[in-house]
Chains A and B, each alone.
Chain A
């Protein structure tokens, strides 16, 4: 029983990180039907940028106080991620806005390779995993319960909290604010939205920026929780997040979050209880994905795709 609870917690922590990244995937897809495969790399860059903020920007006296260091690292990580995403949108995706859908998709793959190699080449020591400081309360909470010990770290709690709060704030912003309405309008019909006075380019850039900011913050949380960053994580978590977005229904905020948590939980529970153990945990994630797509091609919370006139 304790094992089950511990694995549920493990799954939630992993799921929280995936969900934060999946939000960016789902928003960008919702508005321009682009699967931005480079989004996982934006997450990775966020991790490295926040580490650079810590190592090269912060004065030494601030490093020991997490309430100073962590917010600044988050700002650094998110800022670089946002700038990167805006540049990416402007120079890689905007010129292909009206091209066949395959073109931006391939471009996204290309951007992803470029980003990964760029960090690997130019960030000092990034050819191997780089240690990351635990710039937060370094404490593990344990309870003896159900015939075993259940442990959760402070960084894990932070990750889950930020992920859920991020999703709620985002959902509120999109459904309530003026810019959110513009986003939804652009998603539905960019031409009509323009006629109504919405600037589609600005709206799309904002969508990219919000997604990137969340990915950048996810990068910081990943760093302080796992205490290292690696250029490879962008690819791995990008695939997880993409799967989460598809599972939940691309375009749906709720879907991305639930998809993310579902993947985290399946990975940890399958590793514990299903045949093959941790060697086959990824297999079960994709089996679930296939099953869901067979019965609900639009994903759990997605809307069936509209055919544009």
Chain B
């Protein structure tokens, strides 16, 4: 009997181990190909870390981030951008949770060859990653964090104060995105009785709060506010609580795995009004999961396919034949990686890479300026991008179609 028990335990343990290995794999392959062998790479390999969800509901976005950073590194290797070194990408899965993200950051920061990190996707994960990378002075450039307090502190509106000198981002922030959405929904679409639903996470709460401020200023009434659980799949209760106030639109602060089904279930419940959200719902998956015609989303930057600077990126990405689409943040991730690579090239001009060069690298990222796939890449005194373009997209004919591009100005 005992023998059998042990056997069963070993079986289960083995299976568990297999599963664990499968999900936490790191891919550094791909970078090795296509360097042509003509560059001087005698000084070894430097690593650009990527922290983004590679599994779970948000993996569509995370995989796009990973592949685009890989593309930037591959191109740098081909062009011998960083003299004497080969670049590799090491991806760590943060599973869109802060705690796993912290582990990923710790793993990357224990490797002396990691020069910089592209990531994270989620603002909530960034909060736990920032201090860990700061400890080792590793430069971090986020393609997608939109929460304003990450750069300017909790009082970003009244008393902005730089939080981490090693943290930068290439996307616009929610204190632009939320109000921009409000201007569109209240002003252009004429919705005056709006219900707000959030998922309770850093990103969704922050975005919805900024939206609410501007919407109220523009004369709309907030009909109801409600929260959904992060793992919830049945939204009938939430829909029931807002139906009574007869809203003419819903603003959702959160991401597409909940937003898509929410939109579908609203329609099923007879509440056929548009759902609007931020960059977190701007993904084809939103429509697959139930996003309906007329639903709206704002996203950072101009539509990737229309920007002239983006054409080259899109073509190069397609040429690489990655399995996954570059998604909402691919172009941003590409620009983020390129800002690190550009600054790194400048840093190692004056001598070999070592830990003491990290401060120089941060300084060089701060001073970096270049034409990226999302427009001009430059950072202001808080580490925010100076490029504050935003676009409103609308679901039309089963696809996201760009409706209006601009910047938010008071």
Contacts and interface: CB of A to CB of B under 8 A. Distances in A.
Interface of A: 3, 6-7, 10-11, 13-14, 91-92, 95-96, 98-99, 103, 107, 110-111, 113-114, 117-118, 120-121, 127-129, 131, 140, 142, 148-149, 151, 153, 226-228, 230, 232-233, 235-236, 267-268, 271-272, 277-279, 281-282
Given A128-B57, A128-B60, A129-B257, A230 B233 contact: yes
B226 to A, nearest CB: 6
- Taking chain B's interface residues, is the majority helix, strand, or loop, or is none over half, making it mixed? helix
Interface in B227-271: 227-229, 231-234, 236-238, 240-241, 243-244, 257, 260-261, 264-265, 268-270
B7 A95 contact: yes
Closest 3 CB pairs of A and B: A117-B19, A10-B236, A271-B237
A13 B236 contact: yes
Given A6-B243, A226-B233, A278-B241, A140 B270 contact: yes
A151 B237 contact: no
Nearest to A107: B12
B237 A228 contact: no
Given A114-B12, A127-B55, A268-B237, A151 B270 contact: yes
Contacts of A236: 231-233
Interface in B39-89: 54-60
A101 B290 CA distance: 44
B23 interface: yes
Contact of B238 (A11, A14, A271): A271
Contacts of B12: 92, 107, 110-111, 114
B58 A128 contact: yes
Contacts of B237: 7, 10-11, 267-268, 271-272, 278, 281
B22 interface: yes
A225 B60 CA distance: 24
Given A111-B12, A127-B56, A148 B244 contact: yes
B279 to A, nearest CB: 17
B19 A7 contact: no
Interface string B215-235: 000000000001111011110
B234 A226 contact: yes
A12 to B, nearest CB: 10
B8 A131 contact: no
A228 B290 contact: yes
B288 interface: yes
Given A118-B19, A127-B59, A131-B289, A278 B234 contact: no
A261 to B, nearest CB: 14
Interface of B: 1, 4-5, 7-9, 11-13, 15-16, 19-20, 22-23, 54-60, 200, 226-229, 231-234, 236-238, 240-241, 243-244, 257, 260-261, 264-265, 268-270, 285, 288-290
Contacts of B236: 10, 13-14, 268
B268 A153 contact: yes
A117 B243 contact: no
B87 to A, nearest CB: 27
Nearest to B197: A278
Nearest to A128: B57
B152 to A, nearest CB: 28
A14 B55 contact: no
A95 B227 contact: no
B5 to A, nearest CB: 5
A3 B243 contact: yes
Task: Kindly name the residue among A10, A120, A148, A272 whose own CB sees the greatest number of chain B CB atoms within 10 A.
Answer: A10
A176 to B, nearest CB: 35
Contact of B231 (A99, A121, A226, A232): A232
- Taking chain A's interface residues, is the majority helix, strand, or loop, or is none over half, making it mixed? helix
B1 A98 contact: yes
A268 B12 CA distance: 38
Task: Kindly name the residue among A92, A113, A127, A151 whose own CB sees the greatest number of chain B CB atoms within 10 A.
Answer: A127
B406 to A, nearest CB: 31
A149 B270 contact: yes
A232 B234 CA distance: 13
Contact of A279 (B1, B54, B229): B229
12 contacts: A7-B240, A91-B11, A92-B11, A103-B5, A117-B23, A120-B55, A129-B261, A151-B270, A227-B261, A271-B240, A278-B229, A278-B238
B226 A277 contact: yes
Given A6-B243, A151-B270, A227-B261, A282 B19 contact: no
Nearest to A273: B241
A140 B268 contact: yes
A128 B243 contact: no
A279 B5 contact: no
Given A118-B19, A120-B55, 8 more contacts: A3-B244, A107-B12, A114-B19, A117-B22, A127-B54, A129-B261, A226-B265, A268-B237
B227 A277 contact: yes
Contact of A230 (B8, B19, B60, B257): B257
A96 B238 CA distance: 43
B60 A10 contact: no
A271 B231 contact: no
A271 B244 CA distance: 14
A110 B22 CA distance: 16
Nearest to A239: B231
Contacts of B234: 10, 13-14, 226
Contact of B1 (A99, A127, A142, A282): A99
Contacts of A140: 268-270
Contacts of B1: 98-99
Contacts of A114: 12, 15-16, 19
Contacts of B265: 226
Nearest to B244: A3
Nearest to B61: A128
B241 A128 contact: no
Contacts of A277: 226-227, 241
A249 to B, nearest CB: 25
B4 A128 contact: no
Contacts of B288: 131
A103 B55 CA distance: 30
